[in-house]
Every structure is written in structure tokens, then in C-alpha cells.
């Protein structure tokens, strides 16, 4: 088998739901040995978050972020469970946890305690609102979308605030956690020094608001919801056609002129209301009327087929099934299928990370609760550690 970038890295994963498990699955896809520590009886909350379920009756939410891991059941409320956790950490490089701040410390599994057991440990804490003033606040994606401003810029202009259709804040936070862990490991490779990595849902969202956050902190402008319109670019939205919705993402004046040529409307490009992006933004409502009238003469797919070859970003609004089908047509091979312990094929979305020398692999389906015994998990961790230079 080809090597993977993180072969011989050992991660003990105390996290659950989405942000932490997404980070640890990313590490696992890249070769890390990830031991998922779960509570007795129930395990990760997302095991019960269904429907939808797959053909075996397993919650698809859980399946989305837990492949390539080993599941071990430990009761951290007991001395025996905590002692076992210490044994695992002693053989590990990375710990990931997303308990409320202070919980791991009370269990004797906080950064100070575990870094004493394992010098050089990289310890990643994922919180909702940080360890200080927001320590007692529950870190649920919907709550952070609300408090963090995302819902205020999502939805129709003048309408009620709306959440994004996926737990986007958790995803952003999980990706930031992955980056922080890899940066800390690079530092450890150079110095031998471990460190604590801290990411929060709120800070991840504020960072992810990019231009919308910058509008306020750098420009003093509080962004508002604009439906599918863009605050700084036009046309940059879905528009109705004779058959389906067509997204136009016209990012510059050259693209707008090409759009007008395809629509057989060169006069629009010459119109002073639309000739520049600034003017189009100022007259977006009038522009929309002109475009919708012309787009009604054909369907979304037909318009996209004419616009893309001349450099105008355009495409039909797909559902998820259509999006996966598009990726398949483009040769991206977006779906992976992994056999579970009973030989059933578990399907999931391929890692978006492409590496020419050390590509991700998909060796293990998301595990059943407690599928790996503590003894086997400990042995696997120690074996991976022994293969590392220096032990």
C-alpha cells in the first residue's frame, strides 16, 4: 500500500458530534491512527441522530465524519475509565476534545495533566465560545449561527433570519482545528515541544464571515440579508429561466460584456447603468428585470452551455443528488465505498484533499460502538508509536 502523510501518528479522540470528529476523520484519512473514546451505552450523540439512516439502520449523520477510526468504550466517570484513558494518551501524539471548558480538567484529563503524562502532546480543545466568558455557553451550531451574525446575513431581504442548510460553523471549526493540530505538530517536529491548540465555534464563524465581517470592522457597515444577491457584485445570483434557475456569477466587466453578447443584448453592456460593476450594483433591480426577460427564452442548462465556453460562470441550481452526479461526470470520483465488519458497503464523500505522493485512503468504515477492545486499541497505538523515529 502507498504511504500516507500521517502514518504513525496516534490521535485519541474524546470529541463527539461534528467539529471534533471532522478534524479527527481528516487526520485519519491521511493515515493517523484515531481511537475514538465513547461513553458506554450511547456513544457519540450522532449515532442517534436519524433519520435519515442507511440500509443497515445506522444514522447517516454519524457516518459522515467517523470513518477510519477505532471505537473504544470508556466510562470517564470511573477511576478505571480515566486510568485507561491515561494509558491511551501515553501512547498518543494528539488529543482532541470538545467538552465544555473545565470538564476534562475535573476528570483529570485536561492539558496540564495529560501533557505531564505525555511530554510533546498536542492537545486540541474545541469549544463553543472559548474558555473564559463563554465557558458556560452550550456550543450548538444553530446557536452560534444566531449569536455570531450568520443568520442576520442569510435569507431574503427584510425576511426573518435564516440558518444555513448545513452545520457550517462546525465544519469551519473542524477545519481550523485540523490546521492548528498540523501546525502544532510541525512545531513539535522542530523542537520536541507540544502545546495546546484552541479553536471555538464563534471565532471560527467570525473568521469565516470574511468580507461581511470586514464590512463592519474595517468599514463600519453592518451587513444585512440580501437574499441571493451579493453586496458587492452584480449580477451574482440565481435567476429564473424558461426551465430552472440559472446562477450567474459575473465577477468583472469583461464577463458582463460576454454575457450580454450571448443574450444578444449588447445595449445592456453599453448602458451607463450597467457598464461597470459599481453601476450594476447600484441598479441591480433594473438589471435583474432585463436579464430575467431575456433568460426566459430558454432553459438553465442551455444558457449554461452557451455561457461557460465564453468565460461566464453559470450553472443550474442543483440539489445534492445533482451535485454528486456533476462531480461524477467531471471525473472527481466523489463517492467512496468501504466495507464494514460484516461486509456491508458504507458509502461516503471522498476527502477533498489530493496528495500525489501520500493520498488519503479509506480502510475502515465508521465503527460500531465499542467495536475495538481497549487492549487492542492500546496495542495498536503503541505499535504505531514504536514505528515513529524516537518512539
Q: Is pLDDT at 351 greater than 90 in this prediction?
A: yes
Q: How confident is the model at residue 71 (pLDDT cuts 50, 70, 90)?
A: very high
Q: Where are the alpha helices (DSSP H) in 30-78?
A: 60-63
pLDDT tens-digit series, residues 268-282: 999 999 999 999 999
95-99, 343-347, 355-359, 383-387: segment of lowest average pLDDT: 383-387
Rounded percentage of the chain residues whose pLDDT exceeds 90: 95
* CB within 8 Å of 299: residues ≥ 6 apart: 241, 242, 243, 244
**Adjacent-strand bridge partners of 246:** 239, 316
Q: Does domain 10-210+328-386 have CATH number 3.40.50.10540?
A: yes
Structural domain spans, the chain: 10-210+328-386, 245-316
Q: Mean pLDDT over all residues of the chain?
A: 95
pLDDT band at 101, cuts 50/70/90? very high
306 and 244 Cβ atoms separated by less than 8 Å? no
* pLDDT of res. 390: 44
SS3 270: helix
Strand order in the sheet with 195-200: 69-73, 33-38, 10-13, 94-97, 122-127, 195-200
CA–CA–CA angle 257, 260, 265 (5° rounding) = 130
Residue 385: the pLDDT is 80
Report pLDDT digits (tens) over 103-112. Answer: 999 999 999 9
Least confident of 55-64, 67-76, 129-138, 305-314: 129-138
In the prediction, which pLDDT does 388 show?
66
**Cα(103)–Cα(112) distance, integer angstroms:** 13
Can you tell me the mean pLDDT for 62-69?
98
Instruction: Catalogue the active-site residues.
Output: 170
Let me know if 8 is exposed, middle or buried by CB neighbors in 10 A (0-12, 13-18, 19+).
middle
Summarised one tens digit per residue, pLDDT across range 30-52 is: 999 999 999 999 999 999 999 99
How does residue 122 score in pLDDT terms, banded at 50, 70 and 90?
A: very high
CA distance 249 to 234: 8
- pTM comes to 0.93
What is the DSSP-derived secondary structure letter of residue 73? E
Domain 245-316: give its CATH architecture: 2-Layer Sandwich (3.30)
CA distance 367 to 376: 14
Query: Looking at residues 349-375, what average pLDDT do you find?
Result: 96
Q: How far is CA 148 from CA 31, 57, 180, in A?
A: 34, 35, 21
What's the length of the chain?
Answer: 391
Q: What is the pLDDT of residue 160?
A: 94
Amino acid at each position: 500500500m502507498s504511504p500516507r502523510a500521517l502514518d504513525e501518528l496516534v490521535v485519541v479522540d474524546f470529541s463527539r458530534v461534528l467539529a471534533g470528529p471532522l478534524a479527527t476523520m481528516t487526520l485519519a484519512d491521511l493515515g493517523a491512527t484515531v481511537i475514538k473514546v465513547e461513553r458506554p451505552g450511547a456513544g457519540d450523540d450522532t449515532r442517534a441522530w436519524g433519520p435519515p439512516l442507511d440500509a443497515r439502520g445506522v444514522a447517516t449523520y454519524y457516518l459522515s465524519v467517523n470513518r477510519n477510526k477505532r471505537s473504544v468504550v470508556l466510562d470517564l466517570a470511573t477511576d478505571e475509565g480515566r486510568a485507561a484513558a491515561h494509558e491511551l494518551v501515553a501512547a498518543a501524539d494528539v488529543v482532541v476534545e470538545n467538552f465544555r471548558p473545565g470538564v476534562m480538567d475535573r476528570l483529570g484529563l485536561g492539558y496540564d495533566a495529560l501533557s505531564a503524562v505525555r511530554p510533546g502532546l498536542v492537545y486540541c480543545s474545541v469549544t463553543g465560545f472559548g474558555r473564559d466568558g463563554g465557558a458556560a455557553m452550550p456550543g450548538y451550531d444553530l446557536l452560534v449561527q444566531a449569536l455570531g451574525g450568520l443568520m442576520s446575513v442569510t435569507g431574503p431581504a427584510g425576511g426573518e433570519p435564516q440558518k444555513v442548510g448545513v452545520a457550517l460553523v462546525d465544519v469551519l471549526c473542524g477545519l481550523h482545528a485540523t490546521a492548528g493540530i498540523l501546525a502544532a505538530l510541525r512545531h513539535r517536529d522542530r523542537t520536541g515541544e507540544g502545546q495546546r491548540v484552541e479553536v471555538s465555534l464563534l471565532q471560527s464563524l467570525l473568521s469565516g464571515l470574511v468580507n461581511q465581517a470586514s464590512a463592519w470592522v474595517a468599514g463600519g457597515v453592518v451587513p444585512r440579508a440580501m437574499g441571493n444577491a451579493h453586496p458587492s457584485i452584480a449580477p451574482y445570483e440565481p435567476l429564473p429561466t424558461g426551465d430552472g434557475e440559472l446562477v450567474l456569477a459575473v465577477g468583472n466587466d469583461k464577463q458582463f460584456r460576454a454575457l450580454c453578447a450571448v443574450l444578444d443584448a449588447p445595449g445592456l453592456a453599453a448602458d451607463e447603468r450597467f457598464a461597470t460593476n459599481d453601476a450594476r450594483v447600484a441598479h441591480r433591480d433594473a438589471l435583474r428585470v432585463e436579464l430575467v426577460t431575456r433568460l426566459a427564452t430558454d432553459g438553465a442548462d442551455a444558457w449554461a452551455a452557451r455561457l461557460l465556453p465564453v468565460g461566464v460562470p453559470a450553472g443550474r441550481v442543483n440539489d445534492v443528488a445533482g451535485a454528486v452526479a456533476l462531480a461524477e461526470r467531471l471525473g472527481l470520483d466523489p463517492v467512496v465505498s468501504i466495507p464494514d465488519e460484516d461486509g456491508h458497503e458504507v458509502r461516503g464523500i471522498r476527502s477533498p484533499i489530493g496528495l500525489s505522493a501520500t493520498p488519503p485512503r479509506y480502510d475502515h468504515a465508521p465503527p460500531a460502538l465499542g467495536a475495538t477492545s481497549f487492549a487492542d486499541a492500546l496495542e495498536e497505538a503503541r505499535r504505531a508509536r514504536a514505528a515513529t523515529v524516537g518512539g
